[in-house]
Amino acid sequence: MMAAFTVTNGLDSGEGSLRAAVALANADTVHDTILFAPGVNAVTLTSDQLTLSTEVTIAGPASGTVTVARSAAVGTPQFRIFDIETGAAASKLARPRNCRTSRSPAEIRPQTPSGPSAAESGPLAR
């Protein structure tokens, strides 16, 4: 059964984080939706990319945009924002609604059976 997971803060990890919502969505094989609570307009990643391994829709708030970014703090490792694994519904994942990524040369990296495909960066919603 499809589930909806809500991001309630902009932290890198822990309860209510985007990383926790992605982990919950990856735990089953049905299409899930990740939503953002009012007031969550930025998520700052400090540890690693978010790996999407199942079909999921990431939907920003109807009245605004959520920016998902790698931290600019000294010592933050270089990483992509999202990694889309083979078998995940890349067409749905590559265009989250009302979301954008920043501070990464290549945020979205869909995988193909033969390896990574070309990366994509910049705004994800138009």
CA distance 43 to 115: 28
Does the pLDDT of residue 115 top 90, yes or no?
no
Domain ranges of the chain: 4-116
In order of 42, 61, 92, the CA distances from 64 in angstroms are 11, 6, 20
Beta bridge partners of 83: 51, 109
**Residue with the two structure tokens 């089953």:** 28
The larger pLDDT score, comparing residue 115 to residue 4, is at: 4
Residue 102: predicted pLDDT: 56
pLDDT single digits (tens) 9-63: 999 999 999 999 999 999 988 888 899 999 998 999 999 999 888 888 888 777 6
pLDDT single digits (tens) 62-102: 767 888 889 999 999 988 888 887 666 544 443 455 566 65
Does the pLDDT of residue 103 top 60, yes or no?
no
Calculate ∠ Cα 120-121-125, nearest 5°.
100
Residue 105: predicted pLDDT: 36
Please, what's the largest Cα pairwise distance for the chain?
Answer: 42
Residue 122: predicted pLDDT: 37
pTM comes to 0.74
